[in-house]
Amino acid sequence: MTNKIIEPIATEPVFVENYDLQSANTLAIPATAAYFCEVESRQQLVNALAFAEQKKIESLIVGEGSNLVFANDYQGLVIQNKLLGIHVLEQSVDEILIRVGAGENWHALVEYCVDHGWYGIENLALIPGLAGAAPIQNIGAYGAELKDVLVQLTYIDKASLETTQMSNANCEFAYRQSVFKQRLKNKGVIADLTLRLFPNAKPSLSYPALRDQLPNDASPKQVFDAVCKLRQAKLPAPSQIPNAGSFFKNPIVSSTQLGKLKEQFPGLVSFAFEGDHKIAAAWLIDHRGWKSKSIKGVGVHQDQALVLVNPRRAKGSDVLGFARQIQDDVQNSFGIWLEIEPIVIG
């Protein structure tokens, strides 16, 4: 029997200068980064942060770039997260705690949990990106959000390099929102997540299309399959047509505001949301006739008005210019300002 030799991971990342970011963002925006590296260990991550510090440049940790808009070339160091590992920390008849490295692919993690028969993240199937980015905007879909299962996460402060455990409450999660998009924006790196999953639970079927087709005791796999089918029918795959998913957030308005809007626009689509109402931004954009329109190569997807597509790989300023025209038009027509969902860099 021969012993398997495991190569140690070098502590120093490989830094590449003038890196082409086009394949590092799903909108396929042509931009460059002054420096780029991958990190496979916490030590490499710390060394990458030290490199940026020493060069007096900014750093940006990225996953799959599925929620990023590069407005310009990036003058700092882009760090590609490859911190892997899935570990079961505790398992009882009632619940399972797992720790997931931030560099794990999110959908592969969902498949792993579904294969084990664990409830918790099956509604979040097929969301592109890595686990480490999931807390940034508290990813959500089909009636579930990351905040429903996240127990805590490991956070490394970029300036002090101090590592802390942040509880769910400290992440200040809300709809497509967290402390990492506000006070801690670009201030630190998420190294891993601890999630709570359930072997026996009721499926989350609040989304009408799921409720209509699944039994009350649907298994995680049944929910997973239904969600995958819905998404594949509605959302364009970035590998086929570059996009970043929903480009705008659904606006939230009070009952009074909604009442006034509905008097003028009886067909307006809205959903009750935490005491207020979420308006379908797709309906607003669709109603204004933007579907399938394009300017300078940037367009509104033909089947989902909330998704901007970039088939001709236009630059970030053209994507944002097009988005601005939609924002202005919706503001003038409905008095509602659409907030951009992806993170704009530069």
Distance, in Å, from the CA atom of 70 to the CA atom of 66, rounded to the nearest integer, reads: 11
Stretch that binds ligand FAD, among 8-16, 236-244, 277-285, 318-326 (CB under 6 A): 236-244
Q: Can you tell me whether residue 165 is helix, strand or coil?
A: strand
Stretch that binds ligand FAD, among 9-17, 60-68, 93-101, 325-333 (CB under 6 A): 60-68
- Asked if residues 130 and 64 have their Cβ atoms less than 8 Å apart, the reply is yes
User: Which residues have CB under 8 Å from 176's CB, separation 6+?
Assistant: 137, 138, 140, 249, 341
Distance, in Å, from the CA atom of 248 to the CA atom of 176, rounded to the nearest integer, reads: 10
- Check binding of 235 to ligand FAD (CB under 6 A): yes
Distance, in Å, from the CA atom of 229 to the CA atom of 140, rounded to the nearest integer, reads: 17
26 binds, among ligand EPU, ligand FAD, none (CB under 5 to 8 A by kind): ligand FAD
Which tokens is 126 given? 């097929």
Stretch that binds ligand FAD, among 69-77, 126-134, 204-212, 288-296 (CB under 6 A): 126-134
- Check binding of 61 to ligand FAD (CB under 6 A): yes
283 binds, among ligand EPU, ligand FAD, none (CB under 5 to 8 A by kind): ligand EPU
Nearest to 59 by CA among 81, 40, 78, 86: 78
Catalytic entry in 176, 178, 204, 270: 176
- Check binding of 210 to ligand FAD (CB under 6 A): no
User: Which residues have CB under 8 Å from 231's CB, separation 6+?
Assistant: 125, 126, 141
User: Which residues have CB under 8 Å from 320's CB, separation 6+?
Assistant: 69, 71, 344
- The reply to whether 341 belongs to the active site is yes
Catalytic entry in 66, 178, 246, 270: 246
Which residue number, 76 or 132, has a Cβ lying nearer to ligand FAD? 132
User: Which residues have CB under 8 Å from 51's CB, separation 6+?
Assistant: 13, 15, 35, 37, 77
Taking residues 21 to 40 in sequence order and writing x for each that binds ligand FAD by CB under 6 A, - otherwise, the string is -----x--------------
- Check binding of 245 to ligand FAD (CB under 6 A): yes
- The reply to whether 38 belongs to the active site is no
Binding site for ligand EPU (CB under 6 A): 141-142, 234-235, 245-246, 249-250, 269, 280, 282-283, 286, 291, 304-306, 341
Q: How deeply is 286 buried, as exposed, middle or buried, from its count of CB atoms within 10 A (0-12, 13-18, 19+)?
A: middle
Which residue number, 154 or 250, has a Cβ lying nearer to ligand EPU? 250
- Check binding of 250 to ligand FAD (CB under 6 A): no
Out of 59, 137, 310, 327, point to the residue binding ligand FAD (CB under 6 A). 137
- The reply to whether 211 belongs to the active site is no
256-275 residues in contact with ligand FAD (CB under 6 A) are none
Q: Can you tell me whether residue 221 is helix, strand or coil?
A: helix
Which residue number, 156 or 205, has a Cβ lying nearer to ligand EPU? 205
Distance, in Å, from the CA atom of 89 to the CA atom of 151, rounded to the nearest integer, reads: 12
- Asked if residues 281 and 251 have their Cβ atoms less than 8 Å apart, the reply is yes
- Check binding of 60 to ligand FAD (CB under 6 A): yes
**Catalytic amino acids?**
176, 246, 341
User: Which residues of the chain form contacts with ligand FAD (CB under 6 A)?
Assistant: 26, 60-68, 81, 102, 127-130, 132-134, 136-137, 139-141, 189-190, 235, 238, 243-245, 343
